Structure 1
Amino acid sequence: MVKSRKLVSLALCLTLTATVFTGCGKKGAQKGSTDNVADYDHIYREDKFTLSEEADVSELNRIGAYKDRVYVYGQSYGSDDGNGEFKFLSFKEDGTDVKQFSVSAKASSENETIYFNQAICDGDGNFYMVKNVYNYGEDEDNYDDYYLEKYSSEGEQLWQSQITDTDITGDGIYIIEGRGVLTYGGSKIGLFSEEDGKLIKDYDTGVEYLQQIVPKDNNVLIYTWDDDVYKLQEFSLDDGKVGKDIEFPGSFSNYSYCLQGTYSDLLLLARDGIYTYNYGDSDVTYCCSYIDSDINSDMVEGAVQLSDTEFLLLLMDEEDYTYKLTKVVKVPAEEAKSQEIITLACYWMDSTVRNAIVDFNKSNPKYRISVTDYSLYDTDNDYGAGVTKLNTDIVAGNVPDIVLASTELPMEAYVAKDIFMDLDPLIEADSEFVPDDYLQNVFDSFRRDGKLYSLVPAFSVYTIAVATSAVGGKTSWTMKEMKQIADSKGIEYKDMFGLGYTRNNIMSMAVYLNASSYINWDKHECYFDSDEFKEFLTFMKEFPEDYDYSNYEDTSDYWRKGKALAELEYLGDFDSYKDVLRGTFGEDVTMIGFPTNDSAEGSSGSAIIPTNEICISASTDKKEGCWEFLKSFFSDEYQQKYVDYGYFPVKRSTFEKMADDAMKPETWINEEGVEETYTPTMYVGGTEVEVTPLTQAERDYIVGFIEGVTEHVVYDEEIFNIISEEAAAYFNGQKSVDDVAGIIQSRINIYVNENS
């Protein structure tokens, strides 16, 4: 068996996705201020919830509520009908009056696929569903039809209405009291009769795309992107006109789907927990903290509110990915105070950290981590509001016990103000934490003024690869040397790294990989008036300001054909290195890094990207608990989790095993449950090439390279903006390179001295 890999362009990106379904809540304690103090008001615990009739929810992945009825539904693929069947379940809030049925999704041909987009249940247990029937046969046989259907609580189809001609795709569905059933898609809204499914009225909102709709007072609010900003606006179902803009606290998009409620106007599910909102309020109401309640938010598929102090969650099992209903009830604050609270602040948080917090909270009898995610303070008009607020709080002395650092935060300024604790004494005092067990170059790359203010549990490496035959024995190069090699091979500078790079791309690359080549934070010095930086500016001028990506061209073999010299690499595992060796270049490669400044000390042009950089406040009174939590990331269990997620671990034994495994054939389990080996492949210039295991020499080289990287990625937006603003005058021919370099040197020198 041969499995294939695609050769893709490098992208450094973070993706955050959340799915939220209908629900509601009464107004409770307002969302806590960011005073970074102990908060016991949002803790819930699991409680017994029983249905009066046995029901299997393992394949039901959506939940909602209408009036006093909860409904759950999903598509099962376990039958012989090809597309399986649609399953529906509803019950009263107390678990009584259970109604359940299934509807076949059997296709009429092998090319036909049937699935539902959305469904909703009314107070009597009747379901309304938007069904999509898609045929992907020959062009003339293709069809993509949409139907709105109503089923009784016993599963009898009461009516079906084809809505394809309305151009409505059923992105959402609601019951509008006294008006009918509403669904929408694209820019269109359709209102249909509950009695027979006939179209009552369709609306063209005039917007490009309806991001979301929520009911309000027998009308709706529409959430759209307009005039380069997100807007929440009234929409009248009477005259079909867009009304006034609605003020909403924070960013509506932080809550993904925000739908009609039964205990409040809206139930809002965010990354950190459950909120409610009533129209006209100045703020949302924070009800339940997932982390404080030992709930892994990655596993929350939806929720409904059962009372002021109760929620019913639809959770996905972490092991077998089936679904279950879990009831949680609020823990009285006095009862919750049996544990000391450790406050943690971040600007966004990944699933590994969330899991670690939940595990720590469950297992530690003395301490509990409580989180404030400042990214939830971003607004639709200010995507940096959260990080600004976090920085303001920290500088003002409102420092949480633990901070997850990020590239947006000015770490050098914090270190200069002694905001974070030097971790070396904690490491030295802990006999269980042996420094030699870890990659010291990773730890040391985050030292500032010789002190270790943060620890990094896993990492990737950002660098530049080049064919070894092109650079001989060089392990680094200057801008002049790189240009000379390109000249000798007839490669245009703008194609140096392949097609598609703009000036801003190259500038970002330089700030990420080479900031230390021009800035020495410890000495409060910078070198932007050097000949090397001037040469970099002239090099940047060769790149286009914009690039037309619509003209697609397969450039995967450019490096083999000598049309490109080097490739920007993001190495998170050894498979990435194999792809570069066997695919991109097809020969030995040198991880040479970005061109460095001759005068810079220790700059390699390659940099470590931390998965997380974890700091402890110098003023915390819970040092012991903070260290216990931080140390948990370095356990064998969590180090292996980072490997599974595609990152290099810092624990040497785990890292070495990862490298050794890269020399072994890939394996898979066949249909009979037997393990077999295979050789992955990738396509380069339309030719399939095998990606064979590393040799011992290749393994030793890349391990040595990684252990030799001594700097970490520094992305300082202010530095980037200064270079971008001032360099524009040179690119446009308004100023000389000498003048521009001098201005950049002066501005960044002031910035460095103010922030170090």
Structure 2
Amino acid sequence: MKSLKNTMVIVLSILLFFLSACSNHVDKLEHRVSEASINGNGRITIYIQEHDRVIKEAINIYRVRNPQIEIDELIVYDYDEYNTKLYTELMAGNGPDIFSFNIGTFNSLNKMVSSGVFYDLEPLIVPEMVSNFNTIVFDCGIIDNKRFFIPTSYFINTLWTLEGVVGQNTTSWEQFVVDLKNYRIHNNINLDNGYLFSGTFSAYYYLLNSGLELINYQKKEAYFYTEECTRAINKYKEIYNMYCPNDRLIKYKLGDYDMIKEGSIFASFNAALLNPNNLWLSNSIVNQSMNLKMDIFAPPSFNSSGKYSAEPASLIAVNSKCMDIKCAFDFVKFILSKEIQKNKDMQGIPVNNEAITELLEKFENNDIEKEYKIINTNYGQIHTIPLPNKLGHKAETIINNINSCQINDKDIILIIENDIQDFIDGKCTAKQAAENIQRKVMLILNE
């Protein structure tokens, strides 16, 4: 009984300690916020990559509107240098107050979370704010009820082709391949190479949109060594042989547009296509180069479930060492605002739903042809046309029906790619590839 009593005292002491710690955290947060609010000024530092025009423009506008806030930015010109510098400084307890990154920045984002470098933004989020965003994407930075980072844009590996090539109800890889082959046969197109499609396609993207659950980081579980995943890997080998490699695309001025025009392939994947600006330009290119109508589809799944995932294109976070949370979070909110999210240089799909809606309305309006009659692009001069309402509506439907938004560690993505490539090259069976991936991923999860 005495032992139990002592145990209860210890437990209560621990609980009081954690309650006190939580209280201190809140007090510190309130102190930082109130102090910045009273002073009306502050200072924040931010690291940005040289090519990130969106954040550059946001900083310029924010400075004009908030002259009392001092922003120190460091522009890093090399991608690898940026990643190394950011990682090294954060792990040393330094680094900027605000930083943007993508899934390739850190080898293991989950280890970065465990290290405590991210500030928990969840206490600052209000319901009215969340309602403006695609919540599945917006909330993918929540781990154990803490919001460590927020996606500012995201990818959906969307399939595009010409109208009438793929059936409107096609959701599985099996039916997708059948549709493309039938189109080739009906149009008497003989292909020696056997290619059917091109674009942003890989073993990882295939499994990401397979409809299968592969990893649970919180539970430290992986599900690669299963019968269903093994069948999916086997199926990938068949599909892989129908994929046109990128080294063939670069021989064409308009890449996949020209290949589809000449009948060398019949469809292409583009992870950033559903950014309204990209969709408008792509549709204009198809119209100009082929005088045909474009069609788009959600990524086909392996198991006919119709489930598909988004993946963050860019994320933003606040350093746990930041001394001016109020100013830092205010700038984060500005990055997420409709105004900045509508920036034409946004690489992925804006996370702000209002930005998507307004951009689609803008590009569907007939006046867009007058405002941007000719656009200079990497593909040359493009004579633009309004985006068809049907295509815009389909884009919104695909966006609104994603089932998950997944962030997987770069190390794990490389394992998936390399071990499945070994299977493609005949170095192992699909079952062995699945087993190898399972073993290696579990080692990472348990480190």
> TM-score normalised by the shorter chain: which range applies?
0.5 to 0.7
> How many pairs were matched up?
386
CA distance in 2, matches of 1:550, 1:424: 45
- Normalized per residue, the structure richer in strand is 1
CA distance in 2, matches of 1:559, 1:550: 14
Match of 1:699?
Answer: 392
Match of 1:633?
Answer: 335
Whether contact under 8 Å (2:121, 2:149) holds in the other structure is yes
Give matches, 1:455-604, under 5 Å.
455-458=150-153, 461-466=156-161, 469-474=164-169, 476-478=171-173, 480-489=174-183, 495-498=195-198, 506-507=202-203, 509-510=205-206, 518-529=214-225, 530=229, 531-540=231-240, 547=247, 556=257, 559=260, 563-569=264-270, 570-571=272-273, 572=275, 573=277, 574-576=279-281, 578-579=283-284, 582=287, 586-587=292-293, 589-593=295-299, 595-598=300-303, 603-604=307-308
Match of 2:326?
Answer: 624
CA distance in 1, matches of 2:248, 2:57: 41
Give the superposed CA RMSD: 4.4
Alignment partner of 1:404: what SS? strand
Shift of 1:522: 4.1
Whether contact under 8 Å (1:439, 1:650) holds in the other structure is yes
CA separation of 1:425 and 1:556: change in aligned 2, threshold 3 A: same
CA distance in 2, matches of 1:435, 1:351: 25
Give matches, 1:150-229, under 5 Å.
none
Shift of 1:474: 3.0
- Residues 1:655 and 2:356 are matched in the alignment: yes
Q: Which of residues 386, 392, 406 in structure 1 aligns to 2:102?
A: 406
Alignment partner of 2:171: what SS? coil
Shift of 1:513: 6.4
Match of 2:443?
Answer: 750
- Normalized per residue, the structure richer in helix is 2
Whether contact under 8 Å (1:343, 1:369) holds in the other structure is yes
CA distance in 1, matches of 2:354, 2:236: 40
Shift of 1:604: 0.8
Match of 1:388?
Answer: 84
Whether contact under 8 Å (1:442, 1:650) holds in the other structure is yes
Whether contact under 8 Å (1:403, 1:614) holds in the other structure is yes
CA separation of 1:434 and 1:387: change in aligned 2, threshold 3 A: closer
CA distance in 2, matches of 1:463, 1:585: 22
Alignment partner of 2:149: what SS? coil
* 1:70-106 superposed Cα distances (whole Å, 9 cap, x missing partner): xxxxxxxxxxxxxxxxxxxxxxxxxxxxxxxxxxxxx
CA distance in 1, matches of 2:253, 2:132: 46
Letter of the structure 2 residue corresponding to residue 598 of structure 1: N
Shift of 1:392: 3.4
Which stretches in structure 2 are left out of the alignment for 5+ residues? 1-39, 185-190, 377-381
CA distance in 2, matches of 1:401, 1:447: 19
* 1:179-223 superposed Cα distances (whole Å, 9 cap, x missing partner): xxxxxxxxxxxxxxxxxxxxxxxxxxxxxxxxxxxxxxxxxxxxx
Give matches, 1:223-622, under 5 Å.
340-346=42-48, 348=50, 350-361=52-63, 363-364=65-66, 367-373=69-75, 375=76, 384-398=80-94, 400-407=96-103, 408-409=105-106, 410-428=108-126, 434-449=129-144, 451-458=146-153, 461-466=156-161, 469-474=164-169, 476-478=171-173, 480-489=174-183, 495-498=195-198, 506-507=202-203, 509-510=205-206, 518-529=214-225, 530=229, 531-540=231-240, 547=247, 556=257, 559=260, 563-569=264-270, 570-571=272-273, 572=275, 573=277, 574-576=279-281, 578-579=283-284, 582=287, 586-587=292-293, 589-593=295-299, 595-598=300-303, 603-605=307-309, 607-610=310-313, 612-622=314-324
CA distance in 2, matches of 1:742, 1:646: 36
Query: Which structure has the larger Rg?
Result: 1
**Percent identical:** 19
Shift of 1:667: 5.1
Shift of 1:492: 7.8
Alignment partner of 2:386: what SS? coil
CA separation of 1:564 and 1:622: change in aligned 2, threshold 3 A: same
- Residues 1:709 and 2:389 are matched in the alignment: no
Shift of 1:726: 3.2
CA separation of 1:653 and 1:474: change in aligned 2, threshold 3 A: same
CA distance in 1, matches of 2:295, 2:81: 43
CA distance in 1, matches of 2:98, 2:113: 15
Alignment partner of 1:495: what SS? coil
CA separation of 1:545 and 1:469: change in aligned 2, threshold 3 A: closer
Structure ranking higher on relative contact order (CA contacts 8 Å, 6+ apart): 2
CA distance in 1, matches of 2:248, 2:374: 33
Shift of 1:626: 0.9
TM-score with structure 1 setting the length: 0.43
Match of 2:10?
Answer: none
Shift of 1:465: 2.4
TM-score with structure 2 setting the length: 0.68
Whether contact under 8 Å (1:342, 1:401) holds in the other structure is yes
CA distance in 2, matches of 1:700, 1:546: 30
Letter of the structure 2 residue corresponding to residue 454 of structure 1: F
Letter of the structure 1 residue corresponding to residue 121 of structure 2: L
